Amino acid sequence: MIMRKFFNLFLILAVLTIPGSNGCINTAHVNNIIETDCNSSQYPIKLEGTPNISMFASNCKDFLFKPEVVSEVIFIFVKEYSEKFKVSEQYVWLRLQDLKIELSIIPRTVEAAYDVSGNYIEGEVPVTGLAISPYHVWVEVKTSQVWSSSLVHELIHVVIWRDNLNIHGDPDHEGNMFSGWKKEHTQLVKNLRLKLMDLDL
């Protein structure tokens, strides 16, 4: 129960990392990650069963979630998003088509960001995920489990971005400057984090 309360608190910051994150891998579930080497791997890695969704590492030597694990998480996301917002799964898949998912164990910062409530934060802001464009997201591999990353959060930004005709992905979330992100999206992130945690993904 205490752990779940912690995860709910973490969700409030959504796009922000836990201060002091050093990108270390939790070895308890190393089966969900792989070490990559650009000299021996094919990039980008196509995710089987998806509409041309692929993933790649930020650096030549880096860590990725296993492709089959990322595929499974995306299939779960599509189903849950479809049910939550009363749209077809095909509708959601079309919004994710041709998406490139960049992954890295190395943390990133941005000069400014919005938290989930729409508060604007300036300075060196640590992030665990970024929707770089409607066709490109970056996600930090914080541990070997996908639920601890921002993948689901960034997938929502992509869907919203494409719903908004590629104009914006609603960077201020529940704030009122941009349209698209609703409390239901925040709740979906929370629900999916718990579901993926329960599935050990």
pLDDT at 84 over 50: yes
Q: State what percent of residues in the chain have pLDDT above 90.
A: 80
CA torsion 83-86-87-93 (nearest 10°) is -20
Return the bridge partners of 122, or none: 112
**Which residue type does 4 have?**
R
For residue 42, the number of C-alpha atoms closer than 13 Å in the C-beta half-sphere is 5
Both tokens assigned to 88? 């077809």
Mean pLDDT of 58-67: 94
* pTM attached to this predicted model: 0.84
